Structure 1
Amino acid sequence: MEAMHATILPIPVHPGLPLVGNSFEYIRNPLAFMRRLLDTYGEQRMVRIQVGNRTTTLMLKPEETKQVIQENNRNYGRGKSFAILREFLGNGLLTSEGDFWRRQRRLAQPAFHRQKLALLAETMIDEAISWVNRLEQSASKGPVNISTATTDVTLRIVTRTLFGSSLADELDDLSKALANLNHVANNAVINPIRLPKWVPTPDNRAFNKATAQVNNLIFGIIESRRQTDQHRDDLLDMLLHAIDEETGERMSDEQLRDEMVTLFTAGHETTATSMAWTLHLLAQHPEVLARIKAEIQATLGQRKRPSADDLRAMPYLSRVVNESLRLYPPAWIMSRLSLGPDQFGNYRLEANSGVLISPYVLHHDPVSWPNPDRFDPDRFAPDKARERHAYAFLPFGGGPRLCIGNQFALMEMQALLTVLLNRFDLKPVPDLQITTQPLITLRPRQSIKIYLQ
């Protein structure tokens, strides 16, 4: 009897306008657009869209997502947007590919092991306590700009954990330079029309100036560190002395620079944004806030300083952080490029095809998350988590390219929330409207302000 072959069907195509396709829908509100695609094409599990001159396939379900980023991950390279990011971040873990990426991952992974993170947790807790002390001075004057406050503290934490205290005097300069790089990168990613870097546009001039500042500061620190044998408890020291077990090689200065910029940028803005969203949600949901404060007080008792073990001993705190990351995943979209063909049920994806993975879409699928817009940390209770597909929740990506700093970011958020909520109650500012701004990361469009009492 002849073997039965599945019928190959064309991947559904969302209709659009001549030449520009779905560009206007996407640019106007990409989050709403993709949720409409989920509602319309969810049963088909994927859909092709055209944005600018790029045609790409949006994966709508966790099973197909898992195939792309885990099961057949070697068939998928970084998408075209990563080529733009590479201009700004260099060839670090976020943007590199292939054997070079695998070597860099091997070198960097030991710096993020649990024992190393326990050392860094003490720095996070120190900075959290200093942060709350600073907030006490401004809390009595009216609502606090949480967006600014979380940016300040995460900048201090990432600077100390990456570079120790050696960058304290240059902190403002580096922060401004990296903020300029981030601004130009955002414009480049969302704007389909780009002029060459040699054209003296305002963005290109800002990019060149900021790149020179970043390179001068970080290469200077690397050179200074190489001239001393003194060890420090920071990530730069761990990467400086990391040796590839397969080749016996260490990172070059250029590789160290790229990893430092990548870790600084990713570890700073994403955590600051996630913290701001989390505090916004807690201020809007007093019942959740009361429950998390009770857990913190029961864990710490009369102590004001938590330990790393305390942070791991509070399950509801972890659920709150996860639910905030579900609603507002900082890395809300990821692109891939198929290196060869792939088969998804009856659909065939050709080689050299663009693919989009959206944690935001996966996190708002009502099949995985009933009433997906509701803030409910108990979705992450163990019994409910076991019922869901593992790839329905991807705040840090998945597969071999799972974010290397995921445990660092979670511990940082837990430390900041524990110290802050052990000292303050949160009250919302009446009639304050906060909307999303999906740039490279999913930011609040307006500054989040909260009363700290």
Structure 2
Amino acid sequence: METTLSPSRPIPIHPGLPIVGNTLEYLRDPLAFLRRLQRDYGHQRMVCINVGGRITTLMLKPEETKQVIQENNRNYGRGKSFAILREFLGNGLLTSEGDFWRRQRRLAQPAFHRQKLAILAEIMIEEAVAWVDRLEKSADIKPVNFSAATTDVTLRIVTRTLFGSSLGDQLDGLSSALANLNHVANNAVINPIRLPKWVPTPDNRSFEKATQKVNNLIFGIIESRRQTGETRDDLLDMLLRATDDETGEGMSDAQLRDEMVTLFTAGHETTATSMAWTLYLLAQHPEVVKRAKVEINAVLGQRDRPSADDLRAMPYLSQIISESLRLYPPAWIMSRLSLGPDRFGDYVLEPNRGVLVSPYVLHHDPDSWPDPERFNPDRFAPEQSKDRHPYAFLPFGGGPRLCIGNQFALMEMQALLTVLLHRFDLRPMSGLRIKTQPLITLRPKQAVHIYLD
């Protein structure tokens, strides 16, 4: 029997051009377009837009966002854009749905338990110290390209924490192949016209070649580990040994491949980007750096490196990271598809309607964040956070699909910042103003260059 809801008033519609609707306005500057919608329709809490010929409803406030991704989450499937990511990542935790997703989440969750993360934290700290040692040797004259430097160190960390080793020469091949897949996926996101994969376009050929390289390497590692049966303190080992409490079954090789590629990509590119944004902000705010260094020095004393427990004892550094993620959330927009009707106050959302949830919009809402463009880590002090709606801040999503690696990413950033700021001050290049590049993740449009003193 079809579900019906009592009459309601229509959801407001943002006017657009004939045929193309709001597509050109969106493609010209997605973030400016979203902010304009927030300004003009925020008091109405949601608005319909036409992008790419599809009517989509953008949620503008935390309450409605919570209803979509938590309270009534089973009414919302993955949006159309996830089909692009699924080609890239496979059927991993980010892209899978329904009972399959719930089973995979149960299998993977123990690998991210606090005790397991404490083991991985030691690898993060070790790599952070080696990273800062390398920076010290090369930072005497030129500013450091931190877009490249953070990519390098997060790649090393995610490789060791996932596979238990640096992979040697294989790492370059895996890194370049995943970079190619990411490039093709980004092109697909911003290009409304997509040709089938069998058409031999440069992107399609690159995608096929890169996919084959990734599969050969990942399946080879999985097969080798299954044959030897050796135990390691890495995420692959934890996932290999995971079994479903309900069925007693573990993951197939294909499932392991998809989860490893998902974790590799999410644990590498997004963390590197977030670190680059954080350092960009810190270089412009020496007073924040000074306060962070006081906290770091108080915790570390005469020691040159932190422990996992030390990372949890620096609340101001956590506030810095949170404020950076507020201003520049890596997952800046998320799409869903309504499976049935849903009521939001006086509005009724139709079935089979695209829905957008934008952490970027929520993080820049002046109702939740006064003076939202200002970098102010004190926003996240306990006394300022206690009355804020929990869905006003969604750097890792929310509800049942909260990013499984959120604590991993936060610990990694904390380790890198602690070791770097313990040894260096930051000084920006004169006149450096970085613009945003909203692709799959919210990237800096140009390289982030900073002097180390």
TM-score, length basis structure 1 = 0.98
Report the 3-state secondary structure (helix = DSSP H, G, I; strand = E; otherwise coil) of the residue aligned with 1:394.
coil
Q: What residue is the counterpart of 1:155 in the other structure?
A: 155
C-alpha offsets along residues 80-126 of structure 1, whole Å, 9 cap, x if unaligned? Answer: 00011101100000000000000000000000000000000000000
1:209 counterpart letter in structure 2: K
Q: What residue is the counterpart of 1:83 in the other structure?
A: 83
Q: What residue is the counterpart of 1:442 in the other structure?
A: 442
Q: What residue is the counterpart of 1:175 in the other structure?
A: 175
Q: What residue is the counterpart of 1:299 in the other structure?
A: 299
* 1:419-434 correspondence runs (5 A): 419-434=419-434
C-alpha offsets along residues 320-371 of structure 1, whole Å, 9 cap, x if unaligned? Answer: 0000000000000000000000000000001100000000000000000000
Q: What residue is the counterpart of 2:94 in the other structure?
A: 94
2:311 counterpart letter in structure 1: L
CA separation of 1:6/1:229 partners in 2, compared to 1, >3 Å: closer, same or farther? closer
Q: What residue is the counterpart of 1:255 in the other structure?
A: 255
* 1:59-74 correspondence runs (5 A): 59-74=59-74
State how far apart, in whole Å, the 2-side matches of 1:99 and 1:7 are.
Answer: 33
**Aligned-pair CA distance for 1:433:** 2.1
Q: What residue is the counterpart of 2:240 in the other structure?
A: 240
Q: Is 2:344 the partner of 1:332?
A: no
2:205 counterpart letter in structure 1: R
Does the CA-based 8 Å contact 1:362-1:392 persist in structure 2? yes
**Aligned-pair CA distance for 1:6:** 7.4
* 1:115-194 correspondence runs (5 A): 115-165=115-165, 167-194=167-194
Report the 3-state secondary structure (helix = DSSP H, G, I; strand = E; otherwise coil) of the residue aligned with 1:227.
helix
State how far apart, in whole Å, the 2-side matches of 1:299 and 1:273 are.
Answer: 27
Q: Is 2:406 the partner of 1:415?
A: no
Report the 3-state secondary structure (helix = DSSP H, G, I; strand = E; otherwise coil) of the residue aligned with 2:450.
strand
Q: What residue is the counterpart of 1:107 in the other structure?
A: 107
**Aligned-pair CA distance for 1:384:** 1.1
CA separation of 1:276/1:139 partners in 2, compared to 1, >3 Å: closer, same or farther? same
**Aligned-pair CA distance for 1:60:** 0.1
5+ residue gaps, structure 1, are: none
Between the two proteins, what is the percent identity of the paired residues? 80
C-alpha offsets along residues 392-422 of structure 1, whole Å, 9 cap, x if unaligned? Answer: 0000000000000000000000000000000
State how far apart, in whole Å, the 1-side matches of 2:246 and 2:190 are.
Answer: 40
Report the 3-state secondary structure (helix = DSSP H, G, I; strand = E; otherwise coil) of the residue aligned with 1:260.
helix
State how far apart, in whole Å, the 1-side matches of 2:51 and 2:193 are.
Answer: 12
Does the CA-based 8 Å contact 2:156-2:166 persist in structure 1? no
> Runs (4+) of structure 1 moved beyond 6 Å?
none
State how far apart, in whole Å, the 2-side matches of 1:68 and 1:301 are.
Answer: 46
Q: What residue is the counterpart of 2:201 in the other structure?
A: 201
State how far apart, in whole Å, the 1-side matches of 2:181 and 2:356 are.
Answer: 24
Q: What residue is the counterpart of 1:356 in the other structure?
A: 356
Report the 3-state secondary structure (helix = DSSP H, G, I; strand = E; otherwise coil) of the residue aligned with 1:331.
coil
**Aligned-pair CA distance for 1:168:** 2.5
1:105 counterpart letter in structure 2: R
**Aligned-pair CA distance for 1:229:** 2.0
**Aligned-pair CA distance for 1:7:** 5.5
Report the 3-state secondary structure (helix = DSSP H, G, I; strand = E; otherwise coil) of the residue aligned with 2:81.
helix
Does the CA-based 8 Å contact 1:6-1:346 persist in structure 2? no
Bigger Cα displacement from structure 2, 48-57 vs 173-182: 48-57
Report the 3-state secondary structure (helix = DSSP H, G, I; strand = E; otherwise coil) of the residue aligned with 2:77.
strand
Q: Is 2:409 the partner of 1:405?
A: no
**Aligned-pair CA distance for 1:432:** 1.5
Does the CA-based 8 Å contact 1:49-1:56 persist in structure 2? yes
Does the CA-based 8 Å contact 1:56-1:355 persist in structure 2? yes
C-alpha offsets along residues 175-206 of structure 1, whole Å, 9 cap, x if unaligned? Answer: 00000000000011121110000000000000
State how far apart, in whole Å, the 2-side matches of 1:166 and 1:36 are.
Answer: 45
Query: Number of residue pairs matched?
Result: 449
Q: What residue is the counterpart of 1:312 in the other structure?
A: 312
2:262 counterpart letter in structure 1: T
